[in-house]
Structure 1
Amino acid sequence: MALLTILLQQTGTPQGSPWGSILMMVALVAIFYFFMIRPQTKKQKEIRKFRDSLSVGDKVITAGGIYGKIKEIKGEDVILEIADNVRIRVAKSSIYGTAADSNQQQAQ
């Protein structure tokens, strides 16, 4: 037991410069920022810009998969016509993309 205690005391962590660990932490934060946080904020800005540019007559698809044509925009709500004389009200935030975009993706 005494021999084990002596070996453990001798194999302690070396006392190096604290700047090495600080530099590693800064590098780790920079990697997370440039590879995860920054691309996500860019994508959110693009989505916000798309939703702000919606106009009456656009053909869109909702997050639930409903295709429709915008008939009216009331603040954060959108009235979609999904069939002849069939209209539904959805939140602007649930609009996923334009129907033209989804048709192009299916063709590829």
Structure 2
Amino acid sequence: MFATPAYAQAAGGAPGGPEAMLLQFLPLIALVVLFYFLMIRPQQRRMKLHREMLAALKRGDQVVLSSGIMGKVVRVEDTEVGLEVASGVTVKVVKSMIADVRAKGDPAPANDSKA
């Protein structure tokens, strides 16, 4: 009427076989692969594009810092950049804090009056 523990254990096959271990680790391996393709790989691509942008930085470029400050590049060094944030006001900025390089000829917004 009732199954003995020996019959219940034997019904599942070999309990410690390699197939059982593979089936146990398969979801974990799938999560690692999914994590790589959804998070790590795109972040590496963004970092590569940011490094290329900083390597192509030159005098006269309009840049936006990660804090939102905009300015014009007046000096480029290995790790630092001289940035003119107002006429006659130059600050030293760490190169990696540059978030975006804008083209020299960006059009002014429609609501901005040139006087």
Do the two structures share a fold, i.e. TM-score over 0.5? yes
Q: Counterpart of 1:39? A: 42
Q: Provide the C-alpha distance between the structure 1 equivalents of 2:57 and 2:51, rounded to a whole number of angstroms.
A: 10
Aligned match of 2:22 in 14, 19, 23? 19
The RMSD of aligned alpha carbons is: 2.4
The CA deviation at 1:99 is 3.8
- Is 1:97 aligned to 2:79, yes or no? no
Q: Provide the C-alpha distance between the structure 2 equivalents of 1:65 and 1:24, rounded to a whole number of angstroms.
A: 42
Maintained 8 Å contact 1:67/1:99: no
Maintained 8 Å contact 1:82/1:88: yes
Bigger Rg, which one = 2
Q: Counterpart of 1:72 in structure 2: which amino acid? A: R
- Unmatched segments (≥5 aa) in structure 2: 1-7, 111-115
The CA deviation at 1:53 is 0.9
TM-score, with normalisation over the residues of structure 2?
0.70
Q: Counterpart of 1:29? A: 32
Bigger proportion of residues as helix: 1
TM-score, with normalisation over the residues of structure 1?
0.74
- Unmatched segments (≥5 aa) in structure 1: 1-9
Cα deviations by residue, 1:46-94 (Å, 9 ceiling, x for unpaired): 1111111111010001112111100011211100111111111101011
Spell out structure 1 runs of 4+ moving beyond 3 A. none
Matched residue pairs, number? 92
